Amino acid sequence: MPFIRSNEAVVHDIHGARFTSYVIPATGSRDLAAWRAEIPAGTVTPAHVISHEEAFYILSGRLQLTINGETAELNDGDAAVAPAGSALAVANTTDKPAQMWVTTRAGLSATMADGSTLTPPWAN
């Protein structure tokens, strides 16, 4: 099925953020996963190491992304790419919510600082 309607998207809340999953194998994708992430004001997500490359596009607001120790403030319309195996952290240091679109290869996993592995359902 090549079309995913907004009412078919699945919402996941974790680490203070909301992930709305659109493109995953369960919705017809073979290779890709894509979702909208909503990061509330003042939210800092836990640092983690990603298994697959991820592309980020800021839809609204401003977010601070740290990729392998390099930090940048991104505004709506800005984008970033995190290579597979990189350490990643996202923070919204503003007083307004922000949203971004994230795309990766299906099957993404994240290794958390405590060594545990998260297999996010919004990307698998």
Host H or E run for residue 71:
strand 70-75
8 A C-beta contact, residue 14 and residue 89:
no
The pTM (predicted TM-score) of the whole model is: 0.94
Q: What is the pLDDT of residue 117?
A: 96
Q: Which residue has the higher pLDDT, 64 or 122?
A: 64
- The string of pLDDT tens digits covering residues 72-90 is 999 999 999 999 999 999 9
Domain ranges of the chain: 6-119
Ranked by mean pLDDT, which of 8-17, 21-30, 53-62 comes out on top? Answer: 53-62
Average pLDDT of the chain, as a whole number:
95
One-character DSSP codes across 74-114: EETT-EEEE-TT-EEEEE--SSS-EEEEEEEETT--EEETT
pLDDT at 2: 82
CATH fold of 6-119 reads Jelly Rolls (2.60.120)
The whole-angstrom separation of Cα 61 and Cα 99 is 7
Confidence of residue 1 (pLDDT cuts 50, 70, 90): low
